[in-house]
Structure 1
Amino acid sequence: MGKLAVVNIGQLVTMAGPTRPRIGPEMRELGQIHDAAVLVEDGRIHATGAYAALRKRIDPEATVIDAGGRLVTPGFVDAHTHLVFAGNRATEFEKRISGATYQEIAAAGGGIQSTVALTRQATEDELFAQARRHRDWMLRGGTTTLEAKSGYGLDRVTELRMLRVMARLNEEGPVRIVPTLLAAHTVPQEMADKREEYVRWIAEELIPEVAALDLARYCDAFCDDHAFTVTETRQVLEAARRHGLGLRIHAEQFRPGTGAALGAELSAATVDHLETVTDQMLGLLKAAGVQPVLLPASVFCLGRDQYPPARKMIEIGLPVVIATDFNPGSSPAPSMPFMLALASIAMKMLPAEALVAATINAAWSLGLGDKVGSLEPGKAADFLIHECDDYRELAYYVAAPARPRVFIAGSEVTP
């Protein structure tokens, strides 16, 4: 890979700071350097600082990139996506616009079940091609690391197929993909009258197989009225923990009391959604060291108005993460820059807080905080040269058709 020097950086956001997720006022500390440079060796950050201090350290044989006085930040880390699926749900999108609710569509056999049917019919190569397209959308917006869930198979063959697609994408690169098993997404139609059997199968058969094949790093479950109960979710996640998988939970999206307390009890890595979470549950999450992953696009795309209480979370010291929840139903929104705008406009997060939540805090939520999410010596040289001068513009220009220059492990990538 050799050596690289990025010079003429107007504003460099390094995210240098504590070796743990950021909380409270720390979420406004970006490690900014003006008139800066970044030195890269063998795909890793070697040094950051003022250009005046680093210019004599630039190797004469290094490749030099002029940032044009622009903003440079770490690459975005999207900590909650449903990357792999077949087809789309544009028909249901029209139904929601006409007044149908997410729950009504699901009860009529739509929602997740309709994507399950399409995904089961698709070959591995077809799923790979569509997932690659989704990944490239994200990459063009600056996402360099992402988490991806299964959950549109709900049977052994298709769940394993989805996880193999993630493994193939990881092998292909350049985006780093963290795979999560989400067979507990909903009960498949053919098992509607056999819920106990389906949950037992996930816990006793599928999780052990996935763990033995090393196809997932985490296990997730959707704890909600139209998905799984707290008791069922516990059965799945306790099995996952026994087999060495990290834990994540979809919880408190539509109703309080659906999973946040369980996430705290089991010391899950994250509890995601939390639109309806109570102050009491936030206290439990803080005490247990659980990171909240907030998904504002799923509120926006469903036409709802109850966003997660991000300000309250920051005020009490929770290390907030924001992510896209990219999926074909409730959040067909692959853009992390759009998440920054939503976080600021709808959840009243300051642009600095949103940027921390989309980079270093997200990296810690995936167990990668020592590798990505900030531009510090020894970490992967995953960074973006933006088409703007100030980090606040990332949230301020809503859905701007900007295309940052994307570098992963020190190499520029152009999907």
Structure 2
Amino acid sequence: SMLLHGTTTTEAKSGYGLNKEDEIKQLEALKEADLRHPIDIISTFLGAHEIPPEYKTDKETYIRLLIDDIIPEIRRRDLAEFFDVFCEEGVYSVEESRRLIQAAKQHGFKIKIHADEFAPLGGTQLAAEEGATSADHVMAITEEGIQALAESDTAATFLPGVSFFLMQNKKAPARRIIDSGAVVALATDFNPGSSMTESMLFILQLAVYTLGMGIEEAINAATANAAFTLRRHNDVGSLDIGKKMDVILFDEPSYLNLVYHLGVNSVRHVVKDGRIVVRDRNLTY
């Protein structure tokens, strides 16, 4: 379905197992899917997505388990390129997140952070300090967080599908972040709990109508800048000499119609790495 909606490269996370066996199963499934499917799937280990019920009163033991056992094992098996942590009140504090991030970096993981989604905890500043490729959500970001992004290569990834799906009034202050000079990206956050959509076209529309982004800004955030957050910008994200030929052809008279014509999937053809994988809205691989 993602391919039919025009996605040719995606990040996918674990984080719904919260134990070694199930996290490994999820990442193994992603690795197998990457081998079988035209979409390039880049895996992220999100074992620090929550605190498992059995460790609710003993979080430190779970943190030690992640640092001493699960993170090294995920790296040994080469199951993920990125490490992510939910830095949020009631989940992982800034200092707990820092410990986990630094342990992951020691094993060669690139970093992403669920940052400042509900409370202005300072996860965005942590992301910038630790060289994360992105701080995701940022709905409760502070001016200090915005400045930290502007002075770093860490991107703010907006996930407007979450606010829409959860019927929240709080949204990322996109205009302020963009005007600061920070890099911004867009993503679906496709998951069963808070953003059940695989349509990046829908996300473009939400970015324009709910975050106040211009259509050109939104397209850039969903393509070139999104590739930058995955450190794939030298290969995908724009049409350029030497990059993969990943192309979407829309059944619209103008790119402006991508956010004007609502409620339809206007993706007609998709080319992945020079190969037609969707023709006339039908999969061809």
TM-score, scaled relative to structure 2: 0.95
* 2: CA distance, partners of 1:154 / 1:282: 31
* 1: CA distance, partners of 2:51 / 2:170: 26
Stretches (4+) displaced over 2 A: 401-404
Q: Retained in 2: the 8 A contact 1:269–1:290?
A: yes
Task: Please state how far the C-alpha of 1:403 moved relative to its aligned partner.
Answer: 3.3
- Which residue in 1 is equivalent to 2:165? 301
Q: Specify which structure has the bigger relative contact order, considering alpha-carbon pairs within 8 angstroms and separated by 6 or more residues.
A: 1
Opposite residue 183 of structure 1, the aligned amino acid is G
Task: Please state how far the C-alpha of 1:340 moved relative to its aligned partner.
Answer: 0.4
* 1: CA distance, partners of 2:267 / 2:243: 24
* 1: CA distance, partners of 2:148 / 2:239: 32
Opposite residue 10 of structure 2, the aligned amino acid is L
* 2: CA distance, partners of 1:300 / 1:209: 37
Opposite residue 247 of structure 1, the aligned amino acid is I
Of 62, 69, 92, the match for 1:198? 62
TM-score, scaled relative to structure 1: 0.66
Task: Please state how far the C-alpha of 1:205 moved relative to its aligned partner.
Answer: 0.9
- Which residue in 1 is equivalent to 2:22? 158
> How many residues get paired?
279
For the aligned residue pairs, the C-alpha RMSD in angstroms reads: 1.0
What aligned pairs does 1:249-268 form with structure 2 within 5 A after superposition? 249-268=113-132
What aligned pairs does 1:74-113 form with structure 2 within 5 A after superposition? none
Q: Retained in 1: the 8 A contact 2:151–2:182?
A: no
Q: Retained in 1: the 8 A contact 2:125–2:144?
A: no
Identical counterparts, % of pairs: 38
Of 257, 270, 273, the match for 2:137? 273
Task: Please state how far the C-alpha of 1:227 moved relative to its aligned partner.
Answer: 1.9
- My pick for the range that moved more, 281-290 or 329-338, is 281-290
Q: Deviations over 1:155-181 (max 9, x none)?
A: 111100000011001111200011000
Q: Deviations over 1:248-306 (max 9, x none)?
A: 00011111124112112111111000001111211012212211111001011110111
- Which residue in 2 is equivalent to 1:362? 226
Are 2:43 and 1:179 aligned?
yes
Query: Any unmatched runs of 5+ in structure 2?
Result: none
Q: Retained in 1: the 8 A contact 2:161–2:189?
A: yes
- Which residue in 2 is equivalent to 1:412? 276
- Which residue in 2 is equivalent to 1:42? none
Q: Deviations over 1:14-47 (max 9, x none)?
A: xxxxxxxxxxxxxxxxxxxxxxxxxxxxxxxxxx
- Which residue in 1 is equivalent to 2:88? 224
Of 367, 373, 389, the match for 2:237? 373
Query: Any unmatched runs of 5+ in structure 1?
Result: 1-136
* 1: CA distance, partners of 2:152 / 2:218: 23
- Which residue in 1 is equivalent to 2:4? 140
* 2: CA distance, partners of 1:218 / 1:276: 24
- My pick for the range that moved more, 345-354 or 398-407, is 398-407
